[in-house]
Amino acid sequence: MSEASVMTQPKAAANQFESINNVMLDIVDLKKVYPTPTGSYTVLENLQLQIQKEEFVTIIGHSGCGKTTLLSMIAGLNQISGGAIVLNGKPIIGPGPDRGVIFQSPSLMPWLSALENVMLGVDQVFSHASKKDRLAIAHYYLDKVGLYGDMQKKARELSQGMQQRVGIARAFALKPKVLLLDEPFGMLDSLTRGELQDVLLEVWNKEKITAIMITHDVDEAIFLADRVIMMTSGPSAQIGKIENILFERPRERKFIIEHDDYYHYRKSLIDFLEH
């Protein structure tokens, strides 16, 4: 890159800087306090976490420990009480499509078709692209999650599992910097959950979007993640323990379940949670 182009493109310079330090998301001294009638309640305090580019992180912890609060603060949907969340060098101020969110309930507009639900975001993010290109993006991701034939169906006509597939397509189609998943498969039966984990991993393996996922499911946490973040119980929850999952990608469920390390990881997680 010539010097002139660096001068005229400060963004490019920033990218150069980031490539040296490979952090996508930097959470520093994060604090969240909720006011209650009986005084303030500190959910999270002094929380530090760095997430690398192209990393898949799962967060596991007991109910009410502040996992969802943490995720919604990263999404910008919840105010920060103290500290900072820095995304790709810039502190987060509010919500934005650079952080794709897959909610616990599929949160599709029931009056729109699957395609229209995806297009709602695509039209917004790629407003400069032609209609044809935007449709192509939506079609591509709907195809990837296995809904190519059903995309004209209204969201209300789809099963929970299929709706969450649309949710995955919608999030990936925005090409976000970070993907935030808030127990996306929590409401599904275990068979559908397994299917959707495979779908998610398949798309993710292609895109390698930095992902943070909350889950209650120990097996899900291990199967999907590069790192499992275990949070202590609230109030003033923090990160208790981090387990690096070293299985190679792409992962095969059968291979992982039969692997010796799997039981080692599983024991580590369960010991922490039951502690």
Partner 1 sequence: MKTGTIDLPKNNEKSTFNIGLVLTNMSKKIWDGLKPKSSSKVIFTNLFYVSLSILLFFMFWYFGAKALYNIEANALIEAARKEGGDAAALKTSQCIYSGDLACKPNALPSPADVWNAGKSLYKDHQVLAASKAKFYTDNSALNAQLKATGQKTMVYTGRSSFIDKALKSLFTVFAGVLLAMFIAIPIGILVGLNANIKSMFNWIIQIFKPVSPVVWFLLVYMIVKTMSKSINMDKSFMISLISVSLCSMWATLVNTSVGVASVDKDYINVANVLQLGFFKRIFKIIIPSAMPMIFTGLRVTVSVAWMVLIAIELLAQSPGLGSFVWEEFQNGANDSNSKIIFAMFVIGIIGFMLDKIMLAIQHSLSFTK
Q: Does 109 bind partner 1 (CB under 8 A)?
A: yes
Q: Does 251 bind partner 1 (CB under 8 A)?
A: no
Q: Which is nearer to partner 1, 58 or 113 (CB)?
A: 113
Q: Does 95 bind partner 1 (CB under 8 A)?
A: yes
Q: Does 202 bind partner 1 (CB under 8 A)?
A: no
Q: Does 184 bind partner 1 (CB under 8 A)?
A: no
Calculate the alpha carbon distances from 188 to 160, 184, 251, 257, 267 in Å.
7, 9, 22, 21, 25
- For partner 1, which residue of 32, 99, 165, 251 counts as binding (CB under 8 A)? 99
DSSP assignment of 115-182 equals HHHHHHHHHHHTTTS-HHHHHHHHHHHHHHTT-GGGTTSBGGGS-HHHHHHHHHHHHHHT--SEEEEE
Q: Does 193 bind partner 1 (CB under 8 A)?
A: no
- For partner 1, which residue of 6, 14, 77, 242 counts as binding (CB under 8 A)? 77
Structure tokens at 62: 């007991």
- Per-residue binding string, partner 1, 36-75, x by CB under 8 A, is ---------------------------------------x
Q: Does 119 bind partner 1 (CB under 8 A)?
A: yes
Rounded Cα–Cα distance for residues 82 and 18 (Å):
24
- Per-residue binding string, partner 1, 150-179, x by CB under 8 A, is -xx-x-xx----------------x-----
DSSP assignment of 5-30 equals HHHH-HHHHHHHHHHHS-EEEEEEEE
Rounded Cα–Cα distance for residues 69 and 57 (Å):
16
Please tell me the total number of residues recorded for the chain in this structure: 275
Kindly state the smallest distance separating residue 269's Cβ from partner 1, in Å: 29
- Per-residue binding string, partner 1, 123-142, x by CB under 8 A, is -xx---------xx--xx--
DSSP 3-state assignment of 263? helix
Rounded Cα–Cα distance for residues 196 and 104 (Å):
13
Kindly state the smallest distance separating residue 101's Cβ from partner 1, in Å: 5
Structure tokens at 188: 């599904």
Rounded Cα–Cα distance for residues 251 and 202 (Å):
9
Kindly state the smallest distance separating residue 52's Cβ from partner 1, in Å: 23
Where do contacts with partner 1 occur on this chain (CB under 8 A)? 75-77, 94-97, 99-101, 103, 105, 107, 109-113, 115-116, 119-121, 124-125, 135-136, 139-140, 143, 148, 151-152, 154, 156-157, 174
